[in-house]
Amino acid sequence: MVRRSVLAVFAVIATAFALLSVMTLLGLASAITPSQTAVTSITVGSNPEDVAVSPDGSSVWVTNSGGTTVSRINTTTNVVTSITVGTGPRGVAVSPDGSSVWVTNLDSDTVSRIDTATNVVTSITVGTGPSYVAVSPDGSSVWVTNISSHTVSRINTTTNVVTSINVGTYPFHVAVSPDGLSVWVADRDGNGAGIVSRINTTTNVVTSINVGANAYDVAVSPDGLSVWVINQSGTVARINTTTNVVTSINVGGNPSRVAVSPDGSSVWVTNNYILGTVSRIETITNAVTSIPVGLNPVGVAVSPDGLSVWVTNIDNTVSRIDTITNAVTSITVGTYPYGVAVSPDGSSVWVTNNGDATVSRITFPPQPPVNVTATPGNAQATISWTAPTNTGGSPVTGYSATASPGGQSCTTTTATSCTISGLTNGTAYDISVTATNAVGTSDPSVVSVTLTSETTTTTSSDLVAPAFTG
């Protein structure tokens, strides 16, 4: 059987740890001073692997590949609900409307459909060794790669009827184009030659595209014009979706996973070897920048604002890459981190720790308050604002407004206005307003106000320093 042998990444991981016991490591990437973060450990099931966040950010779904459960995490409380599915749950995907979650069960040849309103599970029989899963943008179809039966299963989400489509010998990861007209499957034949199976979703006709050796992961650009395929021979294949022409780009050793930035300007590839790197590909030029991260990097995700990339490393760290500077910050998480996902609002990063049955939730300080105004009075000013929509994954515990010059201030816990007293009439002040949560304090929003004897002048500027949003 092929099923468990496809977990090549874990074989590399085991080799890496054997080597670590007999070697002295060279210096890894120097890190910038870390942005404020907090890591919360959440216990889930055995060998958590894949992770997905609901479109509204209210739930996180984790497959526990060492058992028969999926863990549903309430992102407000971190409370975990265990849901029984099939044996060896592996891949997970959430429908665009958030109404259903789809889980591949590698060892029971089924897909579990979870109704997110009730947690009721429907079992759907697919091919042999279902591994990875993707949902069409309109939610009408679910696509499942069956690594042992050399097929892709197309599930009609209205009827749960399954159509089997023959592809290459070992289909792995799968992605759907933004317009829903093509499905792309990273595949290889029996001799290890890498191919991509392009499925026309109107006709289910398959076009086979040669890409390299041992094609493994696949991602589609936001505009749908390029498809990026990981070849474990050390290259990335870029497919022009109009012509199917392939451009081969050299990256690092044993590339593992790939992600595309939200604006399509860069592609990020984890290179899974001991002194690991991430390859950043500029999509205009195909130029590659190599960025050292932790040991044996595997998972990769880009934040919704495109300002950071998150990489799981087998040395029990996550690397945060600042996409402006390429500077790397190392954050300690659980044992053998594997999958990674970012909340839709960028407020939390979720990491599955395959070795200790936990998920690490990484949270941040809040974004700054918005819509700040100052109303002048006699030797005082009343400051009002709107709470930030992104609280950093932890509730706001207080606000502070501070005048400059002078340093007079006022604070609140939940109220969104307060009055600063002890000011001097006739003086111009900049008022900085910040929000604080359990992790830290936001960057300030600034408003200017001048107190005259008649107390009539106010200027609302909302001069906000760039905020770290994940």
pLDDT digits (tens, 9 = 90+) for 223-260: 999 999 999 788 999 999 999 999 999 998 889 999 99
155 and 216 inside one domain: yes
Say what the pLDDT of residue 454 is.
Answer: 54
Angle at 308 between CA 307 and CA 314, to 5 degrees: 175
pLDDT in the model for residue 189: 74
Instruction: Tell me what the mean pLDDT of segment 111-134 comes to.
Output: 98
Let me know whether 353 and 418 are in one domain: no
Residue 269's DSSP bridge partners are 258, 279
Tell me the per-residue pLDDT of 413-426, one tens digit each, with 9 for 90 and over: 999 999 999 999 99
Residues 375, 355, single domain; the answer is no
Hey, what are 78's tokens? 């971190």
CATH for 106: 2.130.10.10
Please give the Cα distance from 448 to 236 (Å, whole number): 51
φ and ψ at residue 10, rounded to 5 degrees: -70, -30
Give the end of a domain, one of 301, 332, 363: 363
Residues 238 and 334 occupy one common structural domain: yes
Range of the domain at 446: 370-464
pLDDT at 267: 98
**Cβ–Cβ under 8 Å, residues 33 and 389:** no
**Same-domain status, 89 and 141:** yes
Distance CA 465, CA 442 (A): 10
Helix or strand (DSSP H, E) at 13: helix 8-20
Same-domain check for residues 297 and 377: no
Inform me whether the pLDDT recorded for 32 exceeds 80: no
Domain boundary among the residues 294, 329, 363 is at: 363
Task: Note the pLDDT tens digit of each residue in 276-290.
Answer: 999 999 999 999 999
| Token digits of residue 206 | 């398959």
Say if residue 352 is in the same domain as residue 440.
no
Alpha-carbon distances of 265 from 260, 269, 284, rounded to whole Å: 8, 14, 7
Specify if 426 maps to a domain: yes
Let me know whether 300 and 377 are in one domain.
no
- Do residues 359 and 443 both lie within one domain? no
Asked if residue 209 and residue 112 are part of one domain, the reply reads yes
**Structure confidence at residue 260 (pLDDT):** 98
Q: Are 263 and 290 spatial neighbours (Cβ–Cβ below 8 Å)? A: no
Determine the Cα–Cα distance for residues 46 and 160; give it in Å rounded to an integer: 28
Q: CA angle, 81 as apex, 78 and 87 as ends, to 5°?
A: 130
d(CA 135, CA 224): 16
